[in-house]
Amino acid sequence: MKSFDYVMTAPEGIHSRPAGALVKKAQEFESEILVSFGGKSANARKLFALMKLGVKRGDTVSVTAEGADEELASSAMADFLASHF
């Protein structure tokens, strides 16, 4: 299992358009990828679950990848968040 924290810098936090792109990125990997915030976790492949987290600018999320390609998935998700959120 590989985990990292990310501080949301996007003015809108997680909203529909970038969340959709995040879902597509997560679907590239075999590993299960979870985004956690405020005591709740969401499967990164589920758009509405991500949006229900209510992540805003300045909030810190934890991202966990677990599976056969967890190293690659974790690294790619960290890069994706840094460039899109």
Active-site positions read: 15
- For residue 18, the model assigns a pLDDT of 87
- What Cα–Cα distance (Å) separates residue 31 from each residue in 20, 55, 81? 18, 23, 17
Strand partners, 4: 63
Q: How far apart are CA 68 and CA 72, in angstroms?
A: 9
- For residue 64, the model assigns a pLDDT of 99
| pLDDT one digit per residue (tens) for the chain, 85 residues | 999 999 999 888 888 888 999 999 999 999 999 999 999 999 999 999 999 999 999 999 999 999 999 999 999 999 999 998 8
This prediction's pTM: 0.93
Top CATH class, 2-84: alpha beta
Q: Dump the DSSP string for 35-78.
A: EEETTEEEETT-HHHHHHT---TT-EEEEEEESTTHHHHHHHHH
**What are the residue boundaries of the structural domains of the chain, listed by start?**
2-84
3-class secondary-structure state, position 2 = strand
